[in-house]
Every structure is written in C-alpha cells, then in structure tokens.
Amino acid sequence: MTTPPPHSEYIDAVVKACTQQEIPPSDMWIEDDSLDRYRDDEHSGVACMLSAILEWDADHPAVDRHVHRHGITLVWEHPAQHWMWAARKASGALLRDPEPLQALPRWAEPLLLPRVVGCLAKGYRVRFEPAQLWPEHAAAQAAVDAWEAAEISGQPVPARPAPDTLLIYRTNPKDPGEKVFAQLSSRLPDGAVSVLCEDGRLITVPVHHLTDATADDATK
C-alpha cells in the first residue's frame, strides 16, 4: 500500500473507540491486496478487496478463556454488508468461517464496536438493534466505490477530497457509463461544477448535466 486505503480512516476510528473503552485489539491490520472472494464474474480470482482484521487473543483481559480458549477475531471486508467474527484456533487462524454480525453494518458507528466485542468475548448473546452509522460513511463508501472501480479498470484511484469537501457520487446522464465525483468546494460560476472522473480527468460540467439529485445538492 503506497497510500492509505479508503477504509483506513474508519478502521482507525474503530480501534480508537475500542481503546477508549479499554478493550483495544491485541493486534490489527488493514489490507487492500486480498483477492475478492465474493466475486463470481470475469474479475474473480483477479480483483482484490479491502479488508481489516482485529484480534483479541486469549490473554486479553476482556476474553473469557472458558468460552473462547484462543480469543476472537473481527473481520471487515468491503463487499460484505456487515462486520463478521469468529473464534480463533491456537495458531491464530479462524476456527470457522466468519459469521456476519447483524448488529454491525459495514459502516457501523465506531462506538458500537467495543460494546459488541465485549459481549462476544464473554460469550454473551449480541442483541440486534437498528445501528447508527459512522457520520463519514457516505464519503467513505464513495471512496471505496471509486477504489473498486479503479481496481477493475486498472486506472489510478482519484484522490479523495479533504474531509471538509462534500462529495457527490452520481452518474452523468450525458454519458451514462461515466460515474463522477462532484467536489462542491470546486464549484465554478455560472452553475458549473469541477468534476473529477474515475479516470483522473478533471472536467467542468454544468449542473443541469448532472442528475436532479446532484443538481439539488450542488446548488445548496
């Protein structure tokens, strides 16, 4: 990884939340080069996915060794709708295929993670309730979508705007095959926006050439 992958900021927020609640992972890492095991199309076996692994080993004070002799692992993979988890083997490998956590959608609010981990580590049942999402989830998902598109096409990933830049990720009706980022901080006079395309081109697009939903956002 030459630059931080688009999910790194979110995973960092999760680790920070767990640490603040005194249940930090024993180990963690993020990856952008694991083969995408969810694909069954022409890119299967070639395209990669974004992932993160968080581990709580058997010596972690939060883990009940009578329940999980070798600890637990949480898994985040960008094609999956939810976080997943599994108990560990002595080797550190997963004891079984990871199980989806309905209480933790892909971009769950980081503060929910330490609560769920605490239950799993003790062998308690995790109650499913409608989960809050991370405030930055929309921009993060747009960045992940751009990364995935670039991974398939082989083109460079467009640079992610600064955190205070509002992202719009839509399809340009003038060219239905072209998805665009509209960076409102680069809004130009006469109802136009500066648009960073998936292939790295920076173009000027009149607001009326974008979708209605995009135009509404662009004129706010």
Three-state SS sequence of 10-78: HHHHHHHHHHHCCCCCCEEEEEEEEECCCCCCCCCCCCEEEEEEEEECCCCCCCCCCCCCCCEEEEEEC
Strand order in the sheet with 82-87: 27-35, 48-56, 72-77, 82-87, 99-105
| CA gyration radius, the chain | 20
| Alpha helix (H) residue ranges in 66-182 | 112-122, 137-153
Our measurement of the distance from residue 40's CA atom to the centroid of its chain's CA atoms, rounded to an integer in Å, reads 21
pLDDT tens digits in sequence order for the chain, 220 residues long: 568 899 999 999 999 999 999 999 999 999 998 889 998 887 888 889 999 999 999 999 999 999 999 999 999 999 999 999 999 999 999 999 999 999 999 999 999 999 999 999 999 999 877 789 999 999 999 999 999 998 888 766 655 554 444 344 444 445 444 444 444 334 444 555 555 554 555 555 555 444 443 433 433 4
CA 133/CA 81 separation, integer angstroms: 13
Q: What is the pLDDT of residue 127?
A: 84
* pTM (2 d.p.): 0.70
Nearest to 38 by CA among 76, 80, 84: 80
Helix (DSSP H) and strand (DSSP E) numbers for the chain: 4, 9
CA 91/CA 199 separation, integer angstroms: 43
CA 192/CA 205 separation, integer angstroms: 5
Token duo for residue 137: 């989830």
Q: What is the pLDDT of residue 128?
A: 78
Token duo for residue 83: 């976080």
